[in-house]
Chains A and B, each alone.
Chain A
Amino acid sequence: MTQAPRRAPSLETIGMSKTFGTLQALTDVSIKIASGSFHALLGENGAGKSTLVKCIMGFYQPSSGAILVDGAEADLGTPARAAALGLGMVYQHFTLVPSLTGAENLVISRADVGAVINWRAETRRLDAFMATMPFSVPLDVPTGQLAAGQKQKLEILKQLYLGRRFLILDEPTSVLTPDEAHDVLGLLRAMTVAGDLTVLMISHKFHEVTAFADEVSVLRKGVFVGTGKTTDLSAADMASMMIGDATLAVMDHRASVATEAEPTLLMQAITAPDRTGLKTISIANLAVRPGEIVGIAGIAGNGQKELLEILAGQRPMVSGTIRVQGGTYSATREDARHHHVRFIPEEPLQNACAPRMSVAENLALHIFDVDKNGKNILWLDRARIKQHARTLIEAFKVKTASLASPITALSGGNVQRAVLARELTGEVDLLIVANPCFGLDFSAVAEIRARIMQARNAGTAVLLISEDLDELFELSDRILVMSSGEIVFETPIGTADVSIIGSHMAGHH
């Protein structure tokens, strides 16, 4: 394993460009990351952040340009060479083997581990290694049993154990609670201050960048826009560097909620098995009134997906009732049509589109089986399907080559726009949304949130399931926290406190 801890390396890219076919992903990018600094890399989706770090990590070969490590030109032709120079990467999602313990994960991650492992010697060396680390994680339990924050720490420990002293972190806190994120980033920060580590962090959370990074560099459309000390830049400065002169959709003012109104959606005493079949989802009481956005906060995997599936009729309930506009709701196509219930699940291409079908056909999923008067029909009205698609594409500015293009040919933002167009057109009394802004750029996010707020102000009851607390705070009228399959906390937005919500998300009630 482990060489003696080396000094944290510095890294510099000089005039780096990368093209894929006709697509210029990076153009002449020069970034300097000093030894022992905590550097943030900002940019919209498709700005070239991941192309840049993949070039640094040796996964891609830059088309032109050079990389200096500790001031000397380095040949990073393969991931192995990048690793040998002490460059390591921590991904957004965990790469640990859940059924193995922390110690096993660390040892098997080494390239030089033999066919027979002397566990006694390895354990001794691991203990010695852990003693030099500023934080520890239990190494003797299967990593699947660790909390998300501990897993992320173990991912970082793994890189350090492998002798990596320059860490690239790709949105490292997206699966952590606010407290866990604070904890992990604080530890990294302390190691950089001590000069043991250099960090390059991809992030889109300005408050984390401001609180933990020294310097920030911004990419836009593959071009290096600028760099600066985080002490000199406000969040607004960074945002404008990222998006250039594009203007963002403006959010409607919030109309007041009629708190005495009959709830549009009322879920009572609901129980259902979760995905594993081992635990139970249990919703005692959940009401959403017209013109109200109820946000569901929670760490992924605490029953939010199951809640959506129950409402969509994909998961049978064991007991309980769902009422929509006072009537019993059984989640059939007829019920959804009659009560104007619409769904926008997360990752719309995977969950709300038929990828092999055309844009026009995907836009027609609500209307293909009825005529203008809502009567069921047997023969497709292909002219109407085309006309409907044309109207929606214009109204929501979906960018597509043609109506006949398969929906997979569209970019992520345009798929989301197409799904929004389909789900928000016509009368909508109840809208159920899950993580609508995953992986979208600023302007798409602003537009989608504005559209949801617009629907709310028009009287739609909105149930918003999101893992993004900023989004929930921006949109919700009430925030509920889901943990272990139950709603454990509720607060109106006026008195909502992010640290209290965070502690409930983490399971401290």
Chain B
Amino acid sequence: MSNASPDTLTGPAAALNTHRSGTRAMLARNAEAFVIPAAAVMVGLGAFSAFLMALNKSPLAFFRAIYFGGFGSAFSIDNSLTHASPLLLTALCVALPARLGLVIIGGEGALVLGGLAAASIALPLHGLPYFVVLLMMGIAGALVGGIWIGIVGALRYFRGVNETIASLLMAYIGIAVMNQLIEGPLRDPASLNKPSTYPIGDAYRIGDIPGMQVHWGLVAGLVACVLSWALIERTTWGFAARVSGSNIRAAQIQGLPVGKLILAFTFIAGAFAGLAGMIEVAAVQGDANASLASGYGYTGILVAFLARQNPLAIIPVAFMLGAIDASGSLLQRHMGLPDATVQVLQGILFVTILFSDTLYGRIKWLNPDLWTRAQS
């Protein structure tokens, strides 16, 4: 009997259909991930142009300004990269849990608390070697950020609390805690107009990459993206996380440790955002102050969604949005547009990208599975 059953199937033997698994098919599958977001961005830019024209502004002039502000010179490229650097890390704070099916939008809270923790631990360590202090600051930032978002994961897993709302509310709490501390117990009395912690000291600042006006935090962000990609796509942990994110019931019935995965991934995600805060303190601000909460955590959400939660795709997307951020002041000065115009553009892009999500698998020349539609 065991030999008989394979012969009794409907239809012909099931050789792999080579015409749908060849090079062309592979190219099509890979092209889908570029073509659809690119088309969505074009549609978004078109809609934004209509918005500008309604304001009697020239879209062309606008995009020229962005080009010059973001990419036009070595200085502006460095400026864009500086803006992109924290976005790499805050986007990972969204992308990693997203692969587990969790929508976490509270990276801002982990960033400010991570920055605050890094600034506060630097003071008592004064006098120790540079790398020790920097390492301790990094650990403190990552740990606090990780715990902050890890709490969100724990609430989700153990109590069923919606992680999106929880992370957003926790972000508000995190910002409030930071403001409370820098205006109270941790305030440097010398910071009069802008409440801040004591400066970490010039000896412990993160410097620039040689030959550029961009700090080393950019490298940390790039490394984090590559490591995250490897974690998700190449390790068994990442595989288990992708199964859980795709179908939690299938993961449970296979006995995969869904709870541990949620805790681990939310912790790592928060740690990256906390690290972003530490880098902002050590490389940009020099102390922890209210400028930490300048929206990198929220722009990171946009970056992660534009990159479709793929850590490698985060790199170019973060650079693009960093450029848009960087050209904000230029737009204000040259075109008389309010600062918020950039946010309108980002919002429109966000919406078109979200809409484009429904197109995956439906466009025939990008999906080999539709090429010869079999009936069964």
List A residues at the B interface (Cβ < 8 Å). 21-23, 46, 221, 246-252, 312-314, 331-337, 343, 345, 350-357, 361, 364-366, 368-369, 376-380, 390, 393-406, 408-409, 411, 413-414, 441, 443-444, 446-447, 450-451, 454
Contacts and interface: CB of A to CB of B under 8 A. Distances in A.
B4 interface: yes
B225 to A, nearest CB: 19
19 contacts: A21-B373, A23-B375, A249-B5, A250-B4, A334-B255, A337-B255, A350-B247, A350-B249, A351-B250, A354-B242, A357-B246, A365-B243, A365-B250, A378-B235, A402-B368, A404-B29, A406-B361, A443-B9, A450-B1
A337 B13 CA distance: 32
B240 A409 contact: no
Contacts of B1: 250-252, 450, 454
Nearest to B1: A252
A377 B371 CA distance: 37
B340 interface: no
B253 A312 contact: yes
Given A355-B246, A450-B5, A402 B14 contact: no
A403 B21 contact: yes
Contact of A443 (B8, B239, B240, B242): B8
A322 B211 CA distance: 66
Contacts of A345: 249, 253
Interface in B133-155: none
B367 to A, nearest CB: 8
Contacts of B238: 380
Contact of B368 (A331, A394, A401): A401
Contacts of B369: 401, 405-406, 409
Interface string B185-202: 000000000000000000
Contact of A352 (B2, B26, B237, B250): B250
A142 to B, nearest CB: 28
B25 interface: yes
Given A22-B373, A356-B246, A446-B8, 16 more contacts: A46-B375, A250-B8, A313-B252, A334-B255, A345-B253, A351-B249, A351-B253, A353-B247, A390-B16, A393-B14, A397-B14, A402-B17, A403-B16, A409-B369, A411-B376, A450-B1
A409 B376 CA distance: 11
Contacts of A355: 246-247
Interchain residue pairs A-B with the least CB separation, the first 5: A333-B255, A402-B21, A354-B246, A409-B369, A249-B8
Contacts of A409: 361, 369
Contacts of B336: none
B255 A380 contact: no
B27 to A, nearest CB: 12
B5 A451 contact: yes
A119 to B, nearest CB: 40
A175 B244 CA distance: 31
Contact of B20 (A313, A336, A402): A402
A399 B376 contact: yes
B11 interface: yes
A32 B371 CA distance: 37
B181 to A, nearest CB: 39
Contacts of B257: 333
Contacts of B252: 312-314
Interface of B: 1-2, 4-11, 13-14, 16-17, 20-21, 25-26, 29, 234-240, 242-243, 245-247, 249-257, 361, 368-369, 371, 373-376
Contact of A399 (B14, B236, B255): B14
Contacts of B21: 401-404
Contacts of A403: 16, 21
Nearest to B239: A368
Contacts of B371: 401
A418 B314 CA distance: 34
Contact of B14 (A22, A351, A377, A398): A398
Contact of B16 (A364, A368, A377, A402): A402
B16 A379 contact: no
Contacts of A314: 249, 252-253
B250 A380 contact: no
A317 to B, nearest CB: 15
Contacts of A379: 234-236
A402 B10 contact: no
Contacts of B14: 393-394, 397-400
A368 B10 contact: no
Contact of A246 (B10, B237, B239, B246): B10
Most chain A C-beta atoms within 10 Å of own C-beta, residue among B5, B13, B246, B251: B5
A405 B368 contact: yes
A46 B361 contact: no
A424 B81 CA distance: 53
Nearest to A396: B6
A407 to B, nearest CB: 9
Contact of A447 (B9, B26, B240): B9
Nearest to A343: B253
Contact of B6 (A313, A397, A414): A397
A377 B246 contact: no
Contacts of A336: 255
A390 B14 CA distance: 11
Nearest to B26: A404
Nearest to A407: B246
B20 A401 contact: yes
